[in-house]
Structure 1
Amino acid sequence: MFLHALKRWYKIKSSGGSEEIRRHMSQVDNLLKKELPMDTVNVDINPSDKPACKYLQSAADNGLKHETRYIVTHLQKFTSILHWQYGYGKLPEDMKENYAYSEILGPRGLIKSSDIAVGIVLLAPAAFYHYHEHPDLTESYLNLSGYFSQNDQAVYPPESIVLNKPGKSHKITNDSSQPLLLAYIWTGSKEAISESRMVFD
C-alpha cells in the first residue's frame, strides 16, 4: 500500500505551477499504475541495516505529523524487511554513519521493475549528502519527514517535491534537529533504470 499511497500523492498534489514537475508527476502516476498490483517479489533480497537506521523510528514518528502521514503509515508496516544499502559508487567516508537508502520498487528492489525505481533515503541530523548525480535518470524527492536544503537554494519542509534532471549534480544538507526521510523516484529508459547508479563528484 506504500506504493499506492505514493502514486496517489503524485496524482493529486500540486506541481506548484511548474510544467516540468507536472509532467514528471503524471509520468510517475502512469508508470506506477502499470506496476500495480505487483506480485513479483525479489526473494533473493535479505533485510539489512546500516548505522543510520537508528534514526528511522524517529523520522517516521515526525512524518506522522504532516499530510504525508498516510504514506509513512504504510511504510512503517514493512520497514523490518527493508534492505538498506549505501549506493553503487565509492561512498565518502563521513556518510557511512549518517546515510542509507533502500530500493522498494526497481531492478534491485523488494519488488522487481525495469520501468521505474522507487525507494527511501534516510539521513541523520546534520548529515551532509555529498554532491552526486544520476546519469540518464530523472529523479524526484518527496520529503516525508524533516527539513533539508539542496544545493543551498531553498529549505524544503515535509510534503515538498524536488525535481532533479538527468545528470544534475546535487547535494543535500539536513537540519541538525531531526533526521530526514525522503521518498525518491527515478524515471528513464529501461536501460537507464536497469543500470541505475549514483556517481559521487
Structure 2
Amino acid sequence: MALSTGQPTPLRGESTTLNDFPDWIYLLREFEALYRHGSAGGSAKIRTHRKAVRDALSKSIAGNPDIVDRPPETKPVIAHLSRALDLGERAAMQGMARALREVQGRLTWEYGYEKVPKSLINKFAYAEILGPRGPVPSDILTLGFVLFAPRTTYPQHSHAGIEESYISVAGAWSENNAAVYAPGSLILNGSGDEHRITTGDIDPCLLAYAWVGPKDALNAPEMKFTPKRKAP
C-alpha cells in the first residue's frame, strides 16, 4: 500500500484527545490484544515484531494525542465491508470486527495513489487508524485496515525501511501463492520483502495491518512495484 500526502486537521472543541473517544480506544485495544495474545508460531522474528508493535502502541496511547479530523470517505470496495464484518464477527476475530463496526462511519478509505491502476479501482481500499495521517496520530507506528473484494490480486511489491504485518480479520487470502490464510493468521514482511496478495473467489478479505519503522519511513513510505518479468 502507498499513502496519500494530505495532512488531517486537528479537531476543534472541548473534547479533542484520544481519552475522549472511547470507540477509538477500544479499537486500539483490540490491536494490542492481537499482538499480545496471538501466537508467534515459534518464530523469533515474529515475536520481536509483535513486541515492537505493542511497545509503540502503548507509547502512542499513553501520549493521549489530539484526535484529528479526517472526513469520512468511501470507495467502491466498501460495498463489501458489511459482509466482511459479518464474517469477522462469526470467527476468531469477532472482537476486532465489532470494534471496527462501531467506527465504520468515521473511516477515511483511500487508495494512496495519484493514479490508481484500473484493475484496482473497484477492488481495494485502506483506512489508516493510527499513524502519521490517521485520526489517532503517531510517528512511531502505523495501524489500519485494508479491504479487498473477492477475486483480487494486489500486485507484487515491497516497502523500503518498513516492517509490515497483516492479520486476517475476515476472508481467505494467500501471499505469494504460498498458502491459504484464515482469520487470526499473521504474516510478516520485512523491509524490502516482495509480496503479492490474492483473495478468494467468493468472499471479501479484510486485513488489519501494522507498520513499524523509522519516523521518516512511516511518514513518507515508499512502495516499489516489482516489474513484470518477460517470458523467455
Question: If the length of structure 1 is used for normalisation, what is the TM-score?
Answer: 0.96
- For residue 83 of structure 1, what is the amino acid of its counterpart? T
Q: Contact (CA 8 Å) 1:127, 1:174: kept in 2 or not?
A: yes
The answer as to 2:183 corresponding to 1:163 is no
Structure 1 segment 46-195 matched on structure 2, within 5 A: 46-88=71-113, 90-195=115-220
Q: Deviations over 1:86-109 (max 9, x none)?
A: 124653210111100011101111
Residue deviations 1:58-91 (CA, integer Å, cap 9, x gap): 0000001112110111111001010111124653
Match of 2:68 among 39, 42, 45: 42
> In 2 relative to 1, CA 162–28 (structure 1 residues): closer, same or farther, beyond 3 Å?
same
The one-letter code matched in structure 1 to 2:72 is: P
Instruction: Name the aligned partner's letter for residue 169 of structure 1.
Output: E
Contact 1:133–1:169 under 8 Å retained in 2: yes
- The offset of 1:134, in angstroms, is 1.4
Contact 1:88 1:197 (C-alpha < 8 Å) held by counterparts = no
1:11 pairs with one of 36, 48, 61: 36
Task: Give the Å deviation of 1:198.
Answer: 3.1
> How does the TM-score come out when normalised to structure 2?
0.83
CA root-mean-square deviation: 1.2
| Secondary structure at the counterpart of residue 156 of structure 1 | coil
Identity, in percent, stands at 37
Structure 2 stretches of 5 or more lacking a match?
A: 1-25, 227-232
1:101-121 CA deviation, whole Å, 9 max, x = no partner? 011101111111100000000
Structure 1: state its 5+ residue gaps. Answer: none
The CA deviation string for residues 120-171 of structure 1, in whole angstroms up to 9 with x for no partner, is 0000011111112211100000100000010011111110000000111211
Amino acid at match of 1:40: D
1:21 to 40, 46, 52: 46
Distance across 1 between alignment mates of 2:109 and 2:224: 18
Give the AA of the match of 2:220.
E
